[in-house]
Amino acid sequence: MRRSALLPLLALATGSLCAQGVFTNANKPGAATCPRLMRDKTALEYSSQYGVNSANASAVLYHQEGEQFFPQGQRKDVSAFAAYDEKAHGTSLASLKGKVVLVGLWSVHCDPSAKMLMEFASLYPKRAQYGFDILAVNFDENQQDGGGIEGGWRAINKFMIKNRSFFETSHMPIYTPGLGKEGPSNFMDMVWSVPVLFVVDREGKLAQVHIGYKDGFVGDSLKRALVERPQPTSPQPAPKPVPHPAPVSAAAPGGSGQ
C-alpha cells in the first residue's frame, strides 16, 4: 500500500500541521484516527506473524477507536512511566504526583493527532493555574535504515521546523517514551491507532483512555479529572496495645523461697 502523500491539516495563523507516513493519514476530513501501517514483512522471505512468505504486511492496517473510564478503585499505578526530551532529560509521572497529567500519543504522520496537539497547546499555559501537566509524546518508530520509514527525533525535528510558528508560539515541549519498565509497556498496550489520550490522576494512576480525536475531547477529559475528589480511605483499626510480660520473682539463692 502506498503511503499517503503530505496533506495539510488546518491553515492556522501560527502555521499549518501536515502528516504522512507510518500511521497512514486519515483519508476523510472528519476521520478520528490514523491506523498503523505494519511493515514487518514486505519483500522479506521468512516466517512472521503473518505466515511464511504469504501476506504482505505492508498492506495490513490496524485500527482502534473508543474510550474507557476506570473507577478509582480499579486503576493501575502508572507512575513509573517517563517521557524524554531531545536532550534525554526525563520527566516521570511519579515526579508529577499531585497533578492531573495528560499523556498524549501523536504522530508526525497523522492529521487527527496534530489536532490533539493544538488542543494541548491551548491548555498548556493554564497548567499552573489549575494543577495539571501535559506530556505530548511522539509515538513514531525510530528511523529504519533502508526501510523508508522515518521516525524518532529526526522526523520530529523536521516536523517542528515545518511548523516552527506553532511550536514557538505554544512553548510546549515534545517528548518520546522511555524504554523498558519506564516506557510504553508500563501501561500502554500495543497502540494501533493515534491519537491516544491517557489521563492520569493525581495519584499517578490511569483514570481514562481515549483513542481517536473529537473536538473538545481533551478539555472535557481534563475537567472530569480535575473535579474528581480523592476516594475516601477506610479508617484503619487502632493497633492493639502490646501486653507487657508479667514480672517473674526469682527465688533466693540456696533457699526454697519460704
pLDDT tens digits, one per residue of 227-257: 998 776 656 666 666 665 555 555 555 555 4
Task: Report domain 7-226's class.
Answer: alpha beta
Q: Mean pLDDT, to the nearest integer, of 140-146?
A: 61
The whole-number pLDDT of residue 44 equals 41
Q: What is the pLDDT of residue 27?
A: 72
Taking residues 168-184, report their average pLDDT: 89
The DSSP H or E segment spanning 166 is: helix 164-170
Rg over CA atoms, the chain: 26
Average pLDDT, the chain: 77
Q: Which of 95, 98, 93, 61 is nearest to 77 (CA)?
A: 93
pLDDT at 227: 96
The pLDDT score that the predictor gives to residue 15 is: 35
The domain spans of the chain are 7-226
Strand, coil or helix: 72? helix
> How far apart (Å, rounded) are the C-alpha atoms in residues 155 and 109?
10
7-11, 53-57, 121-125: which is most confident: 121-125
Cα–Cα–Cα angle for 164, 28, 209, rounded to 5 degrees? 75
User: Minimal CA–CA distance to 207: which of 99, 64, 65?
Assistant: 99
